Amino acid sequence: MKVTVIGSGYVGLVTGACLAQTGNHVVCLDVDAAKVAQLQAGHVPIHEPGLEAMVRANAAAGRLRFTLDAADAIGHGRILFIGVGTPPGEDGSADLQHVLAAARTIAQYLIGPAVVVNKSTVPVGTADRVKAVIEAGLAERQIDYPVAVVSNPEFLKEGAAVDDFLRPDRIVLGSEDESALQLMRTLYAPFNRNRERIQVMDARSAELTKYAANAMLATRISFMNELAALAEQVGADIEQVRRGMGSDERIGTHFLYAGAGYGGSCFPKDVRALLHTGREHGLQLGVLEAVQAANARQKRVLVQKLERRLGPLAGRTIALWGLAFKPNTDDLREAPSLVVIEELLERGASVVAYDPVAATAARAQLHDKAGITIVDDAYAALDGADALVIITEWREFRTPDFEQIRSRLRQPLIIDGRNLYEADEMAAQGLVYEGVGRPSTRS
């Protein structure tokens, strides 16, 4: 099939590459000349396992190309995906300017009937707005090709996006247009083997499903983070509690990890946007408000732990391991590390940080801040530091050289925001260790 993908960011790029991989002819349109040039040269500007190889292979096979030329791209596809960003506006609402601009571009250059598929995360009712914008644009051109708009939210996790696209839990299609749905079923057939994954619903329900799923996952995390604080007070271990809870099938084992708070491009933004939609409709979503507040508190927990152990932090040097909001990405958006850094610098501490992948992104983002150094070796970060704080659970942090940690730190203190180690093992290594919601070493 001939497919056009508007927006070569995270979502658009993964969608375009994976659809080309299954034999479709895909043209990706973007307005960013530098990005398009990079992609044409086979370079993927984001860190996502498997994506660059897939882009190169499909480009070489002639099934995937990138362009700045809207007439060329819109003229190509029978199915046109919108996968542009929906950044948060000041009031927390999702900013739809890029989505609506994409709709206008479609209307301007369309040369026949089309199915427009919205993959961007958008507020309920956007499919109708997109359809109205396209129809108005076509009317100006005095043509009336039939255009259906399908809401098809993405559920991609950074670091596993290619795999999530190729092996989805579900494929949500929001539309009441039978022929559009038929086309979408054919397009998604390769990803729908063994068991029916396609769920057809109305567009508004599809749009809300995306927000609801992310809000539910954020809720689980904030709930566990609150319970972790309670576990510390009552002398329980949140990791044991998590295992006990998770083995109830109704609860399940996923997304129950207490930690440094959730970050990333989706949860914080989507929670804010859903709260905003609630307010627009006169509804206070109280559970979700509490989820958001608990997460803001959680991002400060590690610094409070440091203060309890070390006293005032002015003049101290703190080593950080992990800056990305989670492993396998270089993404720093809403990362707990940024709050930890801010709080430490505010208190007059210096920070020496290490991240195996996000160092370059972090240097670019934090270059104007005095008091932070980013180093390229995990152990070099420890030299002369008063404590090590672990913020991201990169695999290489799971079994570090504890002897080096102990000897290179000025004080043998680890504050672990990801509960990677066991307190009694740390005590045996001569380290003072405190996780989140767990018993600490005694000293």
Name the residue number minimizing CB distance to ligand UDX.
Answer: 266
* Candidates 41-49, 90-98, 260-268, 306-314; binding stretch for ligand UDX (CB under 6 A): 260-268
Q: Does 221 bind ligand UDX (CB under 6 A)?
A: yes
Q: Does 73 bind ligand UDX (CB under 6 A)?
A: no
Q: Does 262 bind ligand UDX (CB under 6 A)?
A: yes
Q: State yes or no: 299 annotated in a binding site.
A: no
Q: State yes or no: 385 annotated in a binding site.
A: no
Q: What is the DSSP letter of 125?
A: T
* Candidates 42-50, 133-141, 149-157, 403-411; binding stretch for ligand UDX (CB under 6 A): 149-157
Count H helices and E strands in the chain, helices first: 17, 14
Q: How far is the CB of 170 from ligand UDX (least distance, A)?
A: 11
- For 210-227, the DSSP string reads HHHHHHHHHHHHHHHHHH
Are the C-beta atoms of 168 and 191 separated by less than 8 Å?
A: yes
- Binding mask 200-219 vs ligand UDX (x if CB under 6 A, - otherwise)? --------------x--x--
Catalytic residue among 149, 203, 266, 306: 266
Q: How far is the CB of 158 from ligand UDX (least distance, A)?
A: 3
Q: What is the DSSP letter of 186?
A: H
Token pair in block for residue 170: 């579900």
* Nearest residue (CB) to ligand UDX, 145 versus 155: 155
* Nearest residue (CB) to ligand UDX, 246 versus 430: 246
* Candidates 22-30, 59-67, 104-112, 155-163; binding stretch for ligand UDX (CB under 6 A): 155-163
- Residue 28 among the catalytic residues: no
* Nearest residue (CB) to ligand UDX, 262 versus 421: 262
Q: Which of 410, 406, 396 is nearest to 426 (CA)?
A: 406
Q: Which of 151, 23, 159 is nearest to 81 (CA)?
A: 151
Token pair in block for residue 424: 């009694």
Q: Which of 176, 167, 179, 182 is nearest to 206 (CA)?
A: 176
Gap between the Cα atoms of 368 and 120, Å rounded: 32
- Residue whose structure tokens are 């942090």: 397
235 backbone φψ class: left, alpha, beta (φ>0; ψ -120 to 50): left
Q: What is the DSSP letter of 173?
A: E
- Give contact residues for ligand UDX (rule: CB under 6 A): 154-158, 214, 217, 221, 255-257, 259, 262-267, 325-326
Q: Which residues are annotated as a binding site for substrate?
A: 155-158, 210, 255-259, 263, 326
Which positions are catalytic? 266
- Residue set of the binding site for NAD(+): 30, 35, 86, 121, 158, 269, 333
